[in-house]
Each structure stands twice: as structure tokens, then as C-alpha cells.
A and B are shown apart, each in its own frame.
Chain A
Amino acid sequence: MDKLLFGDNQFFGVNHMSEEKARQQQMRFQNTDAVIDVLKDAYDEGVTTFMCTTHDRIGEVADYFRENREQYPDFTFFPGMPYAHKYANAITTDGMMGALRRFTPNEGVVDAAMRGTSALVGKDIEGIVTLLIDAEMKMFEGLPTPVIWLQNVVTDLLLGMGFNEAFSIFAEHVRSRYNAEPGFITMNLPMLAGALEKQNIASPLICSNINKIGFRMSGGMDAYHAALQSHDFRPVAMSVYASGAIPADEAIQWVCEQPNIEAIVFGASSRRNIAGTKELVDKYWRK
């Protein structure tokens, strides 16, 4: 796995600092060409892995890199699913089951499941979950996806409820069907690391906020340190700049000093900023 992974928040108006800045980014990247241009810049700077959501527009990005494979042979996708907003809005308008029906390609499955008795529940859930994964993965067909992530909204929803078997279903399907490593994005690293261990999922990737000011590191800095030290998973750090609250040099230096971290996810909108982060990681990463 590359040390630096390129994230996609900046392309879709996700900004944890300012709604105004988020809107400016949405304007700037409303044409997918603008997104692809930045990805090409990242590639030229040696940042060749794109950790992205399964937003519809990522489909267009995937199409581009599929068609231009010879030019970008190392371009790799780490998809994160599901793109939660489309589900959340569907649940508001159609209810929980209506939303499921809308997103499973084979509608009959959900209806059959709902009619079924609880004895059938276990098998049905596996069926529905794997169908949802396959539907989200369609856009990446023929492209390398060596890591597949479960987005934090879903990971943490399941984690809080104690629905930990879903993590095994996800990991199992990702490994067997896509020959990929399962990854889990979370805002609750210490709690998730414990839950995955109990599920006997071997060395999963876990991506969480890891930054000097402890921003959105739920459970607290000490618990994060303890979890990182125990090293029964492969940690990936995100939000290392805490949405810009920490100066770049200081932020990267601190993250690189933390134990066992395998990669850093970062977002940038300009070649200059991509190069800047790359330079800092090359400077501080000792491995």
C-alpha cells in the first residue's frame, strides 16, 4: 500500500471547516474534468491511489482511467461504500425497507426477505449486504481495487448497535469476491479495533482521524495510542490536518511519529498542495 492516499472530500463539497469553502469547492469541481485534472496532477507527483466514495460522479472518473489505462497504469482505486447520502435521503422519503428495495438490483430479494420467517433472517441479510456491495462496485469493473472500505457512517452505526457480525460479512465478501483487503473507516478507533478483533477478522485496515489536536478521535488520545500500539490491525490516518487547524509541517511530523501507521489519506485541490504534503511525508516518515 502507498504511504499517501488521495481522498475525495474536496471534490464533493465536504469541508469540516466552512460551508462557504465547501460551496466554492463544489463550484470548482462541478465538471468531472476538473476532478480528473487534479487526479492527473497527483499521479504525476507520485500519489497514485485514490480513496474515494461511490458517488455517481466517481463512475465518470473510473471510466476515464479505464479508457486511459496505458497512460496511468498504476492508478489504483480504494473505493469506500456506501455513499451514505443517497441512502439517508431515500430512508427519509421511502422508509427503511423502501430504501433497501430501491438500491438492491434484484428487488425480489428484499420482498422475499420481508415475507420470510426469522429463521431465514441470517441468510437473507448476507444476501442483501453482498448485493449492495456488488451494486456499488459495478463502476470499478476492470480497475484495480485492492482495498475496499466500509464508510464511517455505516461502520459506526453498526458498531454502536453491536451489529458486529456485519463486519465479518463485509470482510468475507470483499476478500472472496474481489480479492481485496477489507477496510473500515471510523470515528471510534479504539472501540472498533476491539470489536473487529472479537470477530476474528485478520489484520483489517482501519482508517480514522489521527491528528495532533485529537479532533474527532472519540474515546480520547490515550485510547488511540493504546489501540495503535496493540497493532492487531493496519492503521490509516485521515484528517491529519484537522481541517486546517494544525499547520502542515507540525501536523505531518506528529502523525509520522505515531506507531504503526501504514498510510495517510489527504485531500488537496492544487498540484502545489499535493506536492507540499508529499514533500513533508518524505521528510518525516521513517520506515
Chain B
Amino acid sequence: MVKVAVIGLGKMGISHLSMVRALPGVEVVGIVDATTYLLGVLKKYTGLNTYTSLDKLLADVTPDAAIVATPSRLHYPMVKQLLGAGLSVFCEKPFTLASVEGDELVQLAAAKGLVTQVGYHNRFVGAFGEVKRLLDAGAIGTVTHGLAEAYGPVVLKPQGGTWRSKSTEGGGCLYDYAAHPLNLINWYLGEPDGVGGTVLNSVFSAEIDDEVSSTVYYPGGQTVSVSVNWSDESVRKMTTRITLWGTGGRIFADRQEVQVYLREDSVIPEGYQAGWNVRYTTELTEPVNFYLRGEEYTAQLAHFIERVERNETGGVNTFESAVVTDRLIERMIEDSKRGPRVLISDDVIKEPVKQSLPAKVRTAVASGIKRVRALLPGQK
């Protein structure tokens, strides 16, 4: 039996509470929130132990693990306290608002041998998992370009009121929405080299960004364009979309389906054919014991609980992997302060050096080969 505490009972916290309590082998030993009315209702109707602060919970019970779903700026101090008390931690995304803090928590958890996870649930979506499998199998050859998108109807008019409307508290489309597709490209392509042309734009919000665009650079000339907007009323609910182009074909995925085009001469994975292939969520999704908002939400909690049971520190969405996304977000914020690099009114334009993308890739590969050769014995 894994003893779990749930910290923070907003939209995500309440969902996590419901799903984790329904998992076999879990006992929820306490819940923490600042809203006393909500705690009163839950205590009366669910019989759960309720606490108005983390200190009070830790003084009273000894959980094995905690789920943290508080406003983002509280992640760092709370996770630090929980790790210090010897608890394994599942933390909602984004992990922390400063990657140095994230690094510190990674080290603290490692020193104590604790299990960590961050709630990037898309890595548990069947369709996005299939993309990872296809890339690992080399299905579309060398990836040359990607498009990472997310759209949804969150901020549709000027408003304020909660922590989500304050940039200092980790509100905004970048942290709340863009974090998801960025985390996916980190999963698919690793940590990038740099970012450029980042624009954090307000549509309706006074203090925060409602749309994000950026270019993420990878070694060898690969790029990913980022386009995210949470003021898009045309979509019914949040949609996250990834498109990847490679030397062997193209992959498109959202949470419902994967569409893959494979060239004749590319590596064709088992069950796929040259040309178009479509796989739907009905065939890509593993069943779960309890369903609330999507299989992926239960699957990520089940993964965490299993790892806590087995004391497995490695796994999907560890703190370490989430820091990569935090760092990318941080660099995008930095980049966004620069504005355009070249103005139309500038009169001196350097002679453009035209280089097609495959040429760039070739150059990168050639220089890589040179570097490797230089390391070989007998080479100068």
C-alpha cells in the first residue's frame, strides 16, 4: 500500500485526488488546501484527513509520496520541503519557474534516492508515444524540421483574478500551454542548442502572454517552429499538435491520431507501409483501471505509483527531464526581450549566403565526421 498526500485542490489537484484514490494499492492519507470550505465539504463527504498547510500534514501523517498541484510558484518550496521529509514527489507542470531551482531539486531527490515525476501527461498519450516509437525506429530518417503547436479557448476576453493571470507566478500561455508541445519536442529531439525570434504576445491579458511563437534550434541545422495560442475560440478544447518532417517522410500527431507518410526508400516499421498510414487513438491507447479525463492522466499516476512501490528512480517525466523544458522556457523568455534582429529599414544588407536545408545538414554531418576522425588513432 502506497500512502499518498495530495497538495493543492484546484482543477488538477481535484482530478488527481479522484484518480489516485481510485487506483488499487493506494491510500490517500491526507489532502492540503487553503480553502477551508472545500476542505470541510471533502472531510464530511469523503472521510479524508484534511489540512490547511503542508506543515500540519507532515506533523500528523507519514506519506510515502505526494502529488503537488499548487500554483506554479509554490512548486519549488513545497517540493523541496517534501523531498527533505523523505517523500517521493509527483509535481504538476511546469516544474519550477527557474531551472536552477529545478536542478537543485533534481540533486536533492537523487541524493535521497526518491522517485520524481512531473505531470507532462502528453507523454502518456498513445498517439504521442507512437511518434516517439516511430522516431526511435528511424522511420522518417533524419528529422529536418518540426512544428509544435497548441491552441485552445482559455483567455477569450480581458480578465484577471487568479495566479494564472500573473507572469511572476507562472501564469501565461507559455508556461501553461506551450510547455506541453515544448516538452514533447524535448522528448523527441532532446535538448536544443538555442532559440530565436521568440514573441510572447498578449491578445487580451494585461500582464501575461496569450500567444507564443518561436524557433528552436538543434545541432545540425534542425529547427522547430513553435506556434501556441490559448485565446483561440475556434477550437472546442485544448489541442496539441506535432508535425515532423524528415528525409524519409513526415509525421503528424495530435491526441486522437497519428498520420504518417513514409517514402519508399525509408525504414518502414512493422505494421506500416510506404505512403500514408493512419493510426487512431482506439488502437493506440492502453486501457486503464479508472478513467476520468483521458487514459493518459491515470496512466501517468499509475506509472508514478508503480515506481514508488518499486523504488525505481528512472522513468518517464522525471524531474531531470522536466528541467530541460523549464530551461527552454526560460531561454525563450530571455529571447523574447530582444525584438526583431533585422529591420526592414536597415540600409546595409549583407550578401545573403544561400544554403538549402539538406546542404546545411550535409555540412553539419561532414564537420561531425571530421571531428570523429580527429579522435581516431593515427589521425592528425
Residues in chain A within 8 A of chain B (CB atoms) = 12-19, 22-23, 26, 85, 88-89, 91-98, 113-114, 116, 118, 121-122, 125, 153, 156-163, 165-166, 187-188, 191, 213-220, 242-243, 245
Q: Which of B9, B15, B41, B164 has a CB less than 8 Å from the CB of A93?
A: B164
Which A-B residue pairs are the 8 nearest by beta carbons? A160-B18, A187-B291, A118-B40, A160-B22, A245-B282, A218-B291, A114-B37, A161-B18
Task: List residues of chain A with CB within 8 A of the CB of B162.
Answer: 92-95, 98
With A and B bound together, what is the CA distance between A115 and B11 in angstroms? 22
Task: List residues of chain A with CB within 8 A of the CB of B288.
Answer: 218
Least CB separation from A164: chain B residue: B45
Beyond A12-B236, A19-B255, A157-B15, 17 additional pairs, beta carbon < 8 A: A17-B256, A19-B256, A26-B236, A93-B161, A94-B161, A96-B9, A116-B37, A122-B44, A160-B21, A161-B18, A161-B42, A188-B290, A215-B282, A218-B291, A219-B290, A243-B281, A243-B282
With A and B bound together, what is the CA distance between A98 and B11 in angstroms? 12
Task: List residues of chain A with CB within 8 A of the CB of B15.
Answer: 157
Please determine whether A161 and B293 come into contact, CB atoms closer than 8 angstroms: no
Smallest Cβ distance from B159 to chain A, in angstroms?
6
Smallest Cβ distance from B259 to chain A, in angstroms?
9
Task: List residues of chain B with CB within 8 A of the CB of A96.
Answer: 9-11, 14, 35, 38
Please determine whether B11 and A153 come into contact, CB atoms closer than 8 angstroms: no
Please determine whether B239 and A214 come into contact, CB atoms closer than 8 angstroms: no
- The interface bits of chain B over 256-282 (1 if a CB of A lies within 8 angstroms of the residue's CB, else 0) are 110000000000000000000000111
Q: List 12 A-B contacts (CB under 8 A).
A: A17-B280, A18-B280, A22-B236, A92-B154, A93-B159, A93-B164, A97-B35, A160-B292, A162-B46, A163-B42, A163-B46, A188-B291
With A and B bound together, what is the CA distance between A95 and B11 in angstroms? 8
- The interface bits of chain B over 152-184 (1 if a CB of A lies within 8 angstroms of the residue's CB, else 0) are 011100010110110000000000000000000
With A and B bound together, what is the CA distance between A19 and B237 in angstroms? 10
Please determine whether B18 and A159 come into contact, CB atoms closer than 8 angstroms: yes
Task: List residues of chain A with CB within 8 A of the CB of B291.
Answer: 156, 187-188, 216, 218
Please determine whether A162 and B47 come into contact, CB atoms closer than 8 angstroms: yes
Interface centre among A23, A118, A162, A166 (most CB of B within 10 A): A162
Interface centre among A158, A160, A245 (most CB of B within 10 A): A160
Does B289 sit at the interface, judged by CB under 8 A? yes
Task: List residues of chain B with CB within 8 A of the CB of A89.
Answer: 153-154
With A and B bound together, what is the CA distance between A274 and B205 in angstroms? 45
With A and B bound together, what is the CA distance between A190 and B14 in angstroms? 22
Does B287 sit at the interface, judged by CB under 8 A? yes
Smallest Cβ distance from A51 to chain B, in angstroms?
19
Least CB separation from A116: chain B residue: B37
Please determine whether B18 and A17 come into contact, CB atoms closer than 8 angstroms: no
With A and B bound together, what is the CA distance between A88 and B237 in angstroms? 10
Please determine whether B37 and A97 come into contact, CB atoms closer than 8 angstroms: yes
Smallest Cβ distance from B184 to chain A, in angstroms?
16
Q: Which of B11, B17, B40, B257 has a CB less than 8 Å from the CB of A17?
A: B257
Please determine whether B236 and A121 come into contact, CB atoms closer than 8 angstroms: no
Does B212 sit at the interface, judged by CB under 8 A? no
With A and B bound together, what is the CA distance between A95 and B33 in angstroms? 13
Smallest Cβ distance from B125 to chain A, in angstroms?
13
Please determine whether A19 and B164 come into contact, CB atoms closer than 8 angstroms: no
Task: List residues of chain B with CB within 8 A of the CB of A187.
Answer: 291-292
Task: List residues of chain A with CB within 8 A of the CB of B255.
Answer: 19
Task: List residues of chain B with CB within 8 A of the CB of A17.
Answer: 256-257, 280-282
- The interface bits of chain B over 278-322 (1 if a CB of A lies within 8 angstroms of the residue's CB, else 0) are 001111010111111101000000000000000000000000000
Please determine whether B293 and A93 come into contact, CB atoms closer than 8 angstroms: no
Smallest Cβ distance from B30 to chain A, in angstroms?
14
Q: Which of B159, B235, B292, B295 has a CB less than 8 Å from the CB of A153?
A: B292
With A and B bound together, what is the CA distance between A135 and B49 in angstroms? 32
Known: A157-B292, A218-B289. A85 touches B22 (CB 8 A): no
Q: Which of B236, B292, B293 has a CB less than 8 Å from the CB of A13?
A: B236
With A and B bound together, what is the CA distance between A163 and B264 in angstroms? 56
Please determine whether A16 and B37 come into contact, CB atoms closer than 8 angstroms: no
With A and B bound together, what is the CA distance between A217 and B285 in angstroms? 12
Please determine whether A220 and B44 come into contact, CB atoms closer than 8 angstroms: no
Least CB separation from B278: chain A residue: A18
